[in-house]
Amino acid sequence: MKTRSVNTRPYLDQKPGTAGLRRKVRIFQQPRYLENFLQCIFDCGGQFAGETLIAGGDGRFHNQEALQTLIRVSAGNGVGRLIVGRNGLLSTPAASHLIRQRAAAGGFLLTASHNPGGPDGDFGVKFNTASGGQAPESLTRSIYDATQSIERYLEADLAPVDLGRLGETDAAGMIVEVIDPVIDYANLMETLFDFDRIEALFAGGFSARYDAMHAVTGPYAAEILNRRLGAPADWLLNGQPLPDFGGGHPDPNPVDAADLVALINGPVPVDFAAASDGDGDRNMILGPGLVVSPGDSLAILAANARQIPGFEEGISGVARSMPTSRAIDEVARRLGVPCFETPTGWRYFCNLLDDGRIDLCGEESFGTSSNHVREKDGLWAVLFWLNLIAVRGQSVNEIVEDHWREFGRNAFNREDFFIPDAELGSQLMAELENSVPELDGRPVDGLRITAADVFAYHDPVDGSVSAQQGVRIFFDDGSRIVYRLSGTGTTGATLRIYLERRVTETDLLIRPAVELNAPLSTIARKLSRIRELTGIEQPAAVV
Ligand code: G1P
Ligand code: ZN
């Protein structure tokens, strides 16, 4: 074993965001960059000597090299056992499950989620703690501080370990255990859902497609949907994980998964379609002519939870990220359970899940999950919907429309403005925050602002406070506009504007959200002064 004590620059340029450290592949390829970051995790994350850790990634470009680096640094730091998914693959929810199942001290998830892969794409590293959840803000802050002064890293002198073969290898005193990445996760799903009902649905003339977007969920879907539930092979699309995701952008949204949307709206009758992102934690649910809004999906899952074996006893509470539509609030109110509003980023749900305060949670960015892991979970959401369709005997569209009729609809969509100059983006946000005190009571385009604030979160479990999590503006007709800057981009700044209108009129219920929110969009642009400040006229994306 060798301890390197060399000039360890480059140091980290920017703080890691809510989803770990995400940078261009070329930045990660710099000598010692990843070693430094990993060492800082070892120095700050706890006592890992002799312990078990989990490791795996979404299969993107640089995954294999990064895993070999991780093996050397882990062995150098005296880790007892490193459990790695075969070929370096582990979906994010499967990794979270393994950490918990194997009582590991933590896990490394090599992923940049839905960001493009390949030599010119992005790479990322997330560290999850023993709970299976993402490192808390206090830990990521101390890891970042450590990166600014690190002077040495520890690594074992090791030949690359073969990650294609199941079994154990001794790596300088550390056991590298290569496991099947799918089995444990698939077994967990079988305990939560009624596989017999879903199998019967599949055998009974129902037709579905699942798009793995050439990312990590391909092997998971093949095992669960095809092998265990009997789905025909051609229901699984893009099932082979590829280092560049086949040149696509592995993000399950109507823009990046346009082919799937076209397919379900095309001539071949398909009842249900779904997709997941690069690391398998996001989900998109489609019915013919319908993209289920993630906020609606969360609300519908909560309202129907008791019909699923995993939730037969009901749920104790729910949570959504602040920008996510308030459809779930309405369900929670009727169920008589608490509904928590957290900042953007999955990790804020983890304390609530660990403390038993919530069982279901979700974000507008196509992320939904429950207490079965400490990450969002794409395939879990797909199986939940399939289970629901099977027990209710209704189509996706019928389930959604029934929900709207019963609870009302929170028509929701988001506009992303890409501002190449990151500084300008921060300035725009600062001006918006400063304008908040003057907004109260102000009339605008026929509506009146009833409240506005800069969202701050007080964690009820550990008492920590997260300030400046976005600007919220509420209107007298129940509408809401939210602004925040993205924390996951690797260049420039992205201003996200979230629009939400409360709709109860029957004739409006099925109109497209973008259409229903057009007046709010005009107001949102006006209040942010985006055109005056940046010259930008149009959003880069509307989802
Ligand atoms: C985005 C999503 C957020 C999600 C995160 C990681 O972050 O908005 O909900 O938790 O990706 O998947 P953002 O770029 O908005 O900071
Ligand atoms: Zn993801």
Give tens-digit pLDDT for 26-59. 999 998 899 999 999 999 988 999 999 999 999 9
Indicate if 275 and 356 belong to the same structural domain. Answer: yes
Per residue in 70-106, pLDDT (tens digit) is: 999 999 999 999 999 999 999 999 999 999 999 999 9
363 lines ligand 1 (CB under 6 A): yes
Indicate if 495 and 517 belong to the same structural domain. Answer: yes
Domain boundary among 180, 198, 233: 180
Give the number of whichever ligand sits closest to the CA of residue 482: 1
277 lines ligand 1 (CB under 6 A): no
This prediction has a pTM of: 0.94
Please pick, among 74, 91, 96, 113, the residue that the annotation labels catalytic.
113
> Residue 435 Cα, ligand 2 centroid: separation in angstroms?
34
Relative to beta strand 174-179, strand 471-475 is unpaired
What integer pLDDT is reported at residue 7 of this predicted model?
Answer: 47
Residue closest via CA to ligand 1's atom 11 equals 488
Across residues 448-474, what is the average pLDDT? 96
CATH of the domain at 461: 3.30.310.50
Locate 250 and state its tokens. 């592995």
Indicate if 390 and 498 belong to the same structural domain. Answer: no
CA distances from 349 to 19, 207, 487 (A): 13, 34, 17
Per residue in 106-162, pLDDT (tens digit) is: 999 999 988 899 999 999 999 999 999 998 888 888 898 888 888 899 999 999 999
486 lines ligand 1 (CB under 6 A): yes
Indicate if 156 and 203 belong to the same structural domain. Answer: no
Mutate to test the pocket of ligand 1, among 14, 15, 18, 125 (most ligand atoms within 8 A of CB): 18
Residue of 15 and 442 predicted with greater confidence: 442
Domain boundary among 375, 407, 439: 407
19 lines ligand 1 (CB under 6 A): yes
Indicate if 403 and 494 belong to the same structural domain. Answer: no
Indicate if 71 and 169 belong to the same structural domain. Answer: yes
Mutate to test the pocket of ligand 1, among 486, 491, 543 (most ligand atoms within 8 A of CB): 486
416 lines ligand 1 (CB under 6 A): no
Indicate if 100 and 192 belong to the same structural domain. Answer: no
What integer pLDDT is reported at residue 5 of this predicted model?
Answer: 47
Confidence of residue 531 (pLDDT cuts 50, 70, 90): very high
Give the number of whichever ligand sits closest to the CA of residue 251: 2
Low-confidence winner among 269-273, 328-332, 465-469, 505-509 (lowest mean pLDDT): 505-509
pLDDT at 14 over 90: no
Indicate if 439 and 392 belong to the same structural domain. Answer: no
What integer pLDDT is reported at residue 10 of this predicted model?
Answer: 52
What integer pLDDT is reported at residue 255 of this predicted model?
Answer: 87
> Residue 282 Cα, ligand 2 centroid: separation in angstroms?
6
- Residue 435 is a catalytic residue: no
Residue closest via CA to ligand 1's atom 10 equals 345
What integer pLDDT is reported at residue 228 of this predicted model?
Answer: 98
Per residue in 247-264, pLDDT (tens digit) is: 988 999 888 899 999 999
> Residue 53 Cα, ligand 1 centroid: separation in angstroms?
26
pLDDT at 213 over 70: yes
Q: How far apart are CA 279 and CA 112, in angstroms?
A: 8
CA proximity to 169, closest of 60, 77, 49, 86: 86
What integer pLDDT is reported at residue 137 of this predicted model?
Answer: 81
Domain boundary among 339, 372, 407: 407
Low-confidence winner among 236-240, 295-299, 357-361, 510-514 (lowest mean pLDDT): 510-514
Give the number of whichever ligand sits closest to the CA of residue 250: 2
> Residue 395 Cα, ligand 1 centroid: separation in angstroms?
30
Q: What are phi and psi of 290, to 5 degrees?
A: -140, 125
Q: What mean pLDDT value characterizes the chain?
A: 94
Confidence of residue 418 (pLDDT cuts 50, 70, 90): very high
Q: How far apart are CA 86 and CA 70, in angstroms?
A: 15
Indicate if 335 and 403 belong to the same structural domain. Answer: yes
Domain of 64 in residue numbering reads as 2-180
CA distances from 316 to 164, 196, 358, 388 (A): 42, 27, 6, 20
Query: How many domains is the chain partitioned into structurally?
Result: 3
Indicate if 402 and 413 belong to the same structural domain. Answer: no
Per residue in 239-251, pLDDT (tens digit) is: 999 999 999 889 9
CATH of the domain at 365: 3.40.120.10
Indicate if 160 and 217 belong to the same structural domain. Answer: no
Angle between helices 92-101 and 183-192 (to 10 degrees): 90
What integer pLDDT is reported at residue 212 of this predicted model?
Answer: 97
In ligand 1, the atom with minimum distance to the C-alpha of 367 is 9
pLDDT at 533 over 60: yes
Indicate if 127 and 19 belong to the same structural domain. Answer: yes
